[in-house]
Structure 1
């Protein structure tokens, strides 16, 4: 296959490659509860929670969320502040994901009569559901997805089959590799390969990588791969203080700007680097996401949770 000026090809023994990976995955893979369900709502919750959050931390949050709101109907009827509060309490990252999940549940109930759409294109009509998440839900709930291409999969394809660092090439290779009608197990398997064997520091032999006999990197010892973006530190980050704002406002009907500032960070000073201007910017962003109301028209600006 040709991409630009570069030529690359998958192994001739595609069936052998596929069977080796699926057998490896069947024999030994990490157990996560969402891998034991085909309920699209439960899978959507797991996918949204897993964005930039370690999977081990997601398990408890996922189970707690579904215990509290076990169906889209119950989530759609929930107070959005409670949903956002749950998100904050479990340190699940950007709170607007909770808002979008809440709105998506409402769409399923109101626009789809409580039944999830089952194709990647239709699933993207749900609030906050992009191409990757839509494909994951279509794959894992309905076995009706395309080949997944995430960071782990790109790393595997680049190392194993010399697929160039090009999005179109990765899409083509992933699609050609996936056996027809098996997106559920295949996408789980190839992501597992990238997650436990072909990590940034590979564990080829220790993890029993099933593709060693075909892998160019294993043969050459050159395990370079495309750069992998890293998650910025949470401590002291804007994400952390967004969460603190939401958590603090849950305890009060409303707070004046300076009172809120002193409650969310010890170094808050109204005219300092982390003062009124900084906090007003944070609140404006949260207001744009539909999470808070920021009234700065009076003598003392006031913040409250969006209801």
Structure 2
């Protein structure tokens, strides 16, 4: 897709991309208690706490907070100093977030009769609830949100589909990729992918990343991202050539060596230094990584993408 900031494109089999991620997530994912509830108050508390605190620490604080103030009515009626004191004692970041959470609970009680609004726009009217948090609550509580775009999601989209480092483009790409009406499972799944498999140091194989088949970074070996320093000397590197092999096979299907070679390097000469033997070695690397299958026959050597 051309967007004015660069070019990016989702794979043609986008349904397979979606199904692979959701299946991966539903088979095995980190268990957090706020993933087991659709209560918007409980989810809002988890989102506000998570803004500055590691999830492992949030879990204990979240449970203690909800034990003390289990509903918006309880929190709204609480002394604000007690809420701020809890926040500070649990090292949950800026104390004004506790103040905003207290005021938001009062809004829910006073302005909405104790019932949370269920759209991102309405949720953003609550004190201290910005667009990201509003969308997260709409997604996880009501399955009624847009695609969530955090640092993890940006990293995944940048690496997998070469989405340019531009917030508006990330939003467009994330929403195009998300299946309609499935914001709860989808947003959980893609954030889990960024947190478990596609971190700053990727664990593509160890985490069984479901997007390896389509991922441009996995094909090239260049895992730079908006929050990861650019790898040096990518132009002309072996990583770049790997990516070109995968791109050519994805676009053209099975290719013999002398059909593939010129699509990988402009100086390809079958019997030269950058010729068939060099290409066979490159394909052997990709075959070892499970990306490419190489077949030998009387007619020559043919490469194809693994399914």
TM-score by length of 2: 0.74
> In the superposition, relative to structure 1, how do residues 5 and 191 fare at CA in structure 2: closer, same or farther (>3 Å)?
closer
- Deviation, 1:72, is 0.3
CA contact (8 A) 2:46 2:62 kept: yes
Give 1:129-148 correspondences, 5 Å limit: 129-148=129-148
Question: Which residue matches 1:2?
Answer: 2
The reply to whether residue 119 of structure 1 matches residue 119 of structure 2 is yes
The reply to whether residue 149 of structure 1 matches residue 170 of structure 2 is no
* Count of aligned positions: 229
Q: Distance in 1 between matches of 2:5 and 2:116?
A: 42
Deviation track 1:134-162 (CA, whole Å, cap 9, x = no partner) reads 00000000000000111000000000001
Question: Which residue matches 2:177?
Answer: 177
- Deviation, 1:203, is 0.3
CA contact (8 A) 2:200 2:227 kept: no
Q: Distance in 2 between matches of 1:132 and 1:5?
A: 23
What 5-or-longer segments of structure 1 have no aligned partner? 230-307
CA contact (8 A) 1:140 1:183 kept: yes
- Deviation, 1:167, is 1.2
Q: Distance in 1 between matches of 2:5 and 2:206?
A: 36
Deviation track 1:98-117 (CA, whole Å, cap 9, x = no partner) reads 00000000000000000000
- Deviation, 1:227, is 2.6
Q: Distance in 1 between matches of 2:189 and 2:63?
A: 23
Q: Distance in 2 between matches of 1:55 and 1:118?
A: 25
Question: Which residue matches 1:11?
Answer: 11
Q: Distance in 2 between matches of 1:114 and 1:5?
A: 44
Q: Distance in 2 between matches of 1:62 and 1:124?
A: 22
The reply to whether residue 104 of structure 1 matches residue 104 of structure 2 is yes
Moved more, 96-105 or 3-12: 3-12
> In the superposition, relative to structure 1, how do residues 102 and 228 fare at CA in structure 2: closer, same or farther (>3 Å)?
farther
Question: Which residue matches 2:277?
Answer: none
Question: Which residue matches 2:206?
Answer: 206
What 5-or-longer segments of structure 2 have no aligned partner? 230-307
Give 1:38-77 correspondences, 5 Å limit: 38-77=38-77
Moved more, 6-15 or 121-130: 6-15
Two-structure CA RMSD over aligned residues (Å): 1.0
Secondary structure of 2:100 counterpart: helix
Deviation track 1:34-67 (CA, whole Å, cap 9, x = no partner) reads 0000000000000000002100000000000000
Secondary structure of 2:87 counterpart: helix
Give 1:292-303 correspondences, 5 Å limit: none
Higher relative contact order, chain-length normalized (CA < 8 Å, sep 6+)? 1
- Deviation, 1:228, is 6.0
Q: Distance in 2 between matches of 1:206 and 1:105?
A: 42
Which one has a bigger Cα radius of gyration? Answer: 2
Task: List structure 1 segments (4+ residues) > 4 angstroms apart after TM superposition.
Answer: none
CA contact (8 A) 2:73 2:105 kept: yes
CA contact (8 A) 2:5 2:164 kept: no
- Deviation, 1:193, is 0.2
Question: Which residue matches 1:85?
Answer: 85
CA contact (8 A) 2:155 2:227 kept: no
Question: Which residue matches 1:188?
Answer: 188
